[in-house]
Amino acid sequence: MVSYVKAYMAKKMSWATWQFSVLKVAMISFGILIGSYFADFWKPLLPVVWVVFIITVVWVSVMWLKHVMVSKSNKRVMKK
């Protein structure tokens, strides 16, 4: 079983933009459904959800900006 999982995780899967977009729409739809069914449960936890959202957005933005900066510096080095 462990070897099967390792072999599965070692495979690289590339997604087309439209495929990734469909996956994101499905995940967002699922989140809306869960939120609508359990609205009373999530209402007191809303501030925590906002904090988690803000932290993850900042984290992803920083990672993206670092990637962009590294890519730009690599392009400059390659042009010289």
19-67: pLDDT as tens digits: 888 988 999 999 999 989 999 988 999 999 999 999 999 999 999 898 8
Residue ranges per domain, the chain?
Answer: 12-79
Residue 49 and residue 43: Cα distance in Å, rounded? 10
Residue 80 has pLDDT above 60, yes or no: no
Residue 61 and residue 14: Cα distance in Å, rounded? 22
Contact 41, 48 (CB under 8 A): no
Report in angstroms the alpha-carbon separations of 20 from 5, 26, 41, 50.
23, 10, 30, 24
Encoded tokens for 68: 């962009």
Average pLDDT, the chain: 84
75 pLDDT band (50/70/90 cuts)?
low
Specify the pTM: 0.55
Contact 26, 33 (CB under 8 A): no
Q: What average pLDDT does range 1-12 have in this prediction?
A: 74
What DSSP designation does 11 have?
A: S
Residue 40 and residue 46: Cα distance in Å, rounded? 10
